[in-house]
């Protein structure tokens, strides 16, 4: 059998399985969960365990909470209730924006896949040190992406030396159908790569 892999034969998932992905510090048993790190007001370090009828207990749990918007909203209505949000998505290490739609008309620039609002989402998804790769054959769009990502406080542009030592870069120009089309038409290709950094420290 030849040809491209068919999607129906493969399973994809957007979230990690907390049972299979052992990246958490599990307590030996539920009763030995150290709650002092999450609720220091109610659980002192010297007595960090929950005991029914003795200590305040977590009553609300939001699984897959994202940014925690629901719990923030509920906290106004239930100010004395302990709530716990769990987001199980793993952080990405690389994001690729190869030949995105340039949306040439100024009125449609807000639809470009790189913009101020979406960069906050990308920063949330990327691990510290993770990379965003951008390639386009449109100089105006290249300048737009470089301007917006460079001005975001959670990204910094990679140097030429960084790009020369990155083995991924050499695959970016010809790996997609759009990239091959640009090559056939002898078009220009503009590359920029950005690194996710730690949030700046407040004074």
Residue-wise pLDDT tens digits, 153-196 = 999 999 999 999 999 998 898 878 888 899 999 999 999 999 99
Active site residues: 101
Which bin fits 173, alpha (ψ -120 to 50), beta or left (φ > 0)?
A: alpha
Q: Is the pLDDT of residue 54 over 80?
A: yes
Q: How confident is the model at residue 200 (pLDDT cuts 50, 70, 90)?
A: confident
In tens, the pLDDT along 14-29 reads 455 555 555 567 788 8
Domains of the chain are: 30-86 (no CATH), 92-196 (3.40.50.150)
Q: 69 is written with which tokens?
A: 């918007």
Between 90 and 171, the more confident residue is 171
- DSSP sequence for 134-182: EEES-HHHHHHHHHHHHTSTTEEEPPHHHHHT-TTGGGTTTSSHHHHHH
pTM over 0.85: no
Mean pLDDT (the chain) is 87
Residue range 108-117: mean pLDDT, rounded: 92
Looking at residue 45, its pLDDT comes to: 92
């Amino acid at each position: 059998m030849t040809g491209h892999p068919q999607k129906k034969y493969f399973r994809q998932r957007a979230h990690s399985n907390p049972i299979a992905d052992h990246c958490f510090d599990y307590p030996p048993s539920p009763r030995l969960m150290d709650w002092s790190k999450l609720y220091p007001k109610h659980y002192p370090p010297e007595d960090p365990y929950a005991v029914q009828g003795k200590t305040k207990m977590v009553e609300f749990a939001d699984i897959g909470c994202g940014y925690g918007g629901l719990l923030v909203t509920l906290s106004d209505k239930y100010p004395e209730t302990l709530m716990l949000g769990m987001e199980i998505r793993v952080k990405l290490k690389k994001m690729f924006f190869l030949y995105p739609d340039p949306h040439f008309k100024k009125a449609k620039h807000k639809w470009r896949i790189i913009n101020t609002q979406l960069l906050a989402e990308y920063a949330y998804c990327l691990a510290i040190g993770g990379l965003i790769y951008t390639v386009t054959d449109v100089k105006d769009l290249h300048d737009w992406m470089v301007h917006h990502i460079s001005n975001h406080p959670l990204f910094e542009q990679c140097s030429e030396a960084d790009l020369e030592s990155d083995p991924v870069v050499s695959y970016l120009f010809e790996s997609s159908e759009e990239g091959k089309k640009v090559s056939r038409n002898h078009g220009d290709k503009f590359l920029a790569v950005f690194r996710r950094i730690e949030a700046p420290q407040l004074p």
